[in-house]
Amino acid sequence: MSVFASPEKLWDQATTLHRAGRLDEAAKVYNQLLTLKPDFAEGYGNLGNVLAALGRHEEAVLAYREALKIRPDFLEALLGLGNALKAQGHLEQAAAVYRSALSLKPEFPAAWYNLGSALRAMGQREQAIAAFARAVAQQPDFFQAHNNLGSLYFEEGQWRKAEDAFSLAVTLQPLFEKAHNNLGMALHKREKFAQAEASFREAIRLKPDYIEAYDNLGALLLEMGRTDAAFRCFMQRASIAPAPEPNLSSAHRLKHDEKQAAHRGGPPDGGITIRGGVRVTGPAINPRNSAGIGNAWRNHRPQLVVVDDLLTPAALEGLRRFCREPAIWRDVFEGYLGARPQSGFACPLLAQVAEELANAFPEIFENHPLLFAWAFKYEQGMRGTKVHADFAAVNVNFWITPDEANEDPETGGLIVWDVAAPLDWDFAGYNANDEKIREFLARSGAKITRIPYRANRAVIFDSDLFHETDVMHFRPGFDSRRINITLLYGTRVRKPDIADL
């Protein structure tokens, strides 16, 4: 373009580049134009839009402010300025700009919508609800505003209102996968399980790599008692979710992978292929273990039973082989690695174990579905999980590393206190505040039960009881790392005191 190009030709060129998505080039031409026509508010406004699209929000703010110096009532520039400020985290400034736009034009749905987004991010939920409601009142087909309004109702626990808002969003825009996922969540809360499943599956159909929808569908299927289907969902999710990148905080993961590579005679797996874990043809739970366990559970206070030889030899060996898969160990803790269904710890064999376990001991599991599962693999010389309780009705904790790996057969297992987490404690209180828990246990005069480590031993107990990993003395070597598997069934409820029985 000649240096003698007219402002009109520069404007045509800039807008053409802008529409074509050639944003860097468009920004340069807009700047050329503005050197020739510095009082052109629309030019600064468009420049701000291009810079914002490029993520250059600080520069976009300057461009929008120049536009507003020329035209203080330039609504599009006010909206862009608010958005650029919000993108930088300047929420109060953004809200003030949106309100300025609305003082000029109260019937401005986009400004109400963006004001609602800023207010929500500031934690001002009631005001955010009012803003989104104004947006949809002025523009009834504003499906994004209906979705955000539903999200706020969901956060407030107003499940029916959330369902209505999400339903409107998907009716207005059937291809809006996020609203389908959100509708599924609201329907799940309202125990409309079949409709919730359909919503999650539609979200996945629209977006096959929609990780959150897989998570939500898997959790729903577990609650419905469809463990095998839930685990298939989680395995599919694990196959598309990116494996975590090594970083400075994951020295335990790097050390594990190096030892695994040496053990297997090759480099660590680069992909996320997960092998093995097929169902065994016979039973997975040892049939001889059912006698007397139900009575022991009913009569023991606190509720705790120990089951030895939990798994049949075929099931035990199958789980051991599956737990050698590197791709499932994606969670990194201090001294140990974790595997969850979402990361691929959801093989058919584990589903078989979970289902047969509940069927073998109906007095314990009653109608409690499996809701959570995980495995931990511990590094030698490190401590295990700290004292905590779990959000469930029944906790099953069993160990699969061979006994010969444990150098002290009197330790290495589990410590369980005879005191439960108070129902009014939140997750952080009973799961992540070691000092607070130990003070509470001391005041309560709590006593411990120490269950030594044995391969294929399960400890089944009231999940509200505080517990922690006992000290461990496992010999060096990759196959000697202690592995425990935890299955949680049902949700927390108030248990009757002994005096109530």
Rounded Cα–Cα distance for residues 179 and 146 (Å): 9
Average pLDDT over residues 301-326: 94
Q: Which residue has the higher pLDDT, 428 or 348?
A: 348
What backbone phi and psi angles, to 5 degrees, belong to 474?
-100, 140
What confidence score (pLDDT) does residue 248 get? Answer: 41
pLDDT band at 274 (very low <50, low <70, confident <90, very high): confident
pTM attached to this predicted model? 0.87
Which has the closest alpha carbon to 105: 138, 82, 130, 80? 138
Lowest-pLDDT range of 192-196, 230-234, 282-286, 329-333: 329-333
Name, in order, each residue with C-beta under 8 angstroms of 232's C-beta and a sequence gap of 6 or more.
Answer: 346, 348
Which two three-digit tokens encode residue 306? 């120990």
Q: Which residue has the higher pLDDT, 135 or 294?
A: 135
Which has the closest alpha carbon to 65: 49, 81, 83? 81
pLDDT band at 263 (very low <50, low <70, confident <90, very high): very low
Strand pairing report for 331-332 and 336-339: antiparallel
What backbone phi and psi angles, to 5 degrees, belong to 407?
-85, -10
Rounded Cα–Cα distance for residues 278 and 285 (Å): 15
Q: Is 474 helix (H, G, I), strand (E, B) or coil?
A: strand
What confidence score (pLDDT) does residue 252 get? Answer: 55
Statement: residue 281 has pLDDT above 90: yes
Indicate the helix (H) or strand (E) that contains 375: strand 370-378
Rounded Cα–Cα distance for residues 482 and 335 (Å): 11
What confidence score (pLDDT) does residue 286 get? Answer: 92
Average pLDDT over residues 181-203: 98
What confidence score (pLDDT) does residue 245 get? Answer: 53
What sign does the dihedral 289-295-301-303 (CA atoms) show?
positive
Tens of pLDDT, residues 355-402: 999 999 999 998 899 999 999 999 888 888 899 999 899 999 999 999
Statement: residue 500 has pLDDT above 90: no
Choose from 248-257, 377-386, 451-460 the range with maximum mean pLDDT: 451-460
Which two three-digit tokens encode residue 375? 């495995």
Average pLDDT over residues 157-168: 98
Rounded Cα–Cα distance for residues 188 and 224 (Å): 10
Statement: residue 496 has pLDDT above 80: no
Helical spans, DSSP H, in 105-250 = 109-121, 125-138, 143-155, 159-172, 177-189, 193-206, 211-223, 227-240
What backbone phi and psi angles, to 5 degrees, belong to 22?
-90, 75
Statement: residue 270 has pLDDT above 50: no
Q: Which residue has the higher pLDDT, 290 or 397?
A: 397
Name, in order, each residue with C-beta under 8 angstroms of 468's C-beta and a sequence gap of 6 or more.
Answer: 384, 385, 386, 387, 388, 414, 415
pLDDT band at 501 (very low <50, low <70, confident <90, very high): very low
Average pLDDT over residues 319-346: 91
Which two three-digit tokens encode residue 272? 């996320």
Paired residues of 460 in beta bridges: 305, 396
pLDDT band at 429 (very low <50, low <70, confident <90, very high): low
Three-state secondary structure along 75-141?
A: HHHHHHHHHHHHHCCCHHHHHHHHHHHHHHCCCCHHHHHHHHHHHHHCCCHHHHHHHHHHHHHHCCC
Average pLDDT over residues 275-284: 93
Average pLDDT over residues 324-336: 87
422 preceded by a cis bond (ω within 30 of 0):
no
Cβ(96)–Cβ(112) below 8 Å: no
Cβ(399)–Cβ(456) below 8 Å: yes
Q: Which residue has the higher pLDDT, 134 or 431?
A: 134
What confidence score (pLDDT) does residue 422 get? Answer: 86
Q: Which domains are present in the chain? A: 7-240 (1.25.40.10), 251-500 (2.60.120.620)
Which has the closest alpha carbon to 415: 461, 483, 364? 461
Which two three-digit tokens encode residue 242? 């990116």
Q: How distant is the alpha carbon of residue 232 from its chain centre?
A: 18
% the chain with pLDDT above 90: 77
pLDDT band at 268 (very low <50, low <70, confident <90, very high): very low
Lowest-pLDDT range of 20-34, 144-158, 387-401, 419-433: 419-433
pLDDT band at 1 (very low <50, low <70, confident <90, very high): very low
pLDDT band at 264 (very low <50, low <70, confident <90, very high): very low
Tens of pLDDT, residues 26-74: 999 999 999 999 999 999 999 999 999 999 999 999 999 999 999 999 9
HSE-up of residue 391 (Cα within 13 Å, Cβ side):
11
Rounded Cα–Cα distance for residues 63 and 30 (Å): 11
What confidence score (pLDDT) does residue 254 get? Answer: 59
Strand pairing report for 448-451 and 465-469: unpaired
% the chain with pLDDT above 70: 90
As a dihedral over the C-alpha atoms of residue 354, residue 360, residue 365, residue 367, rounded to 10 degrees, the angle is 90
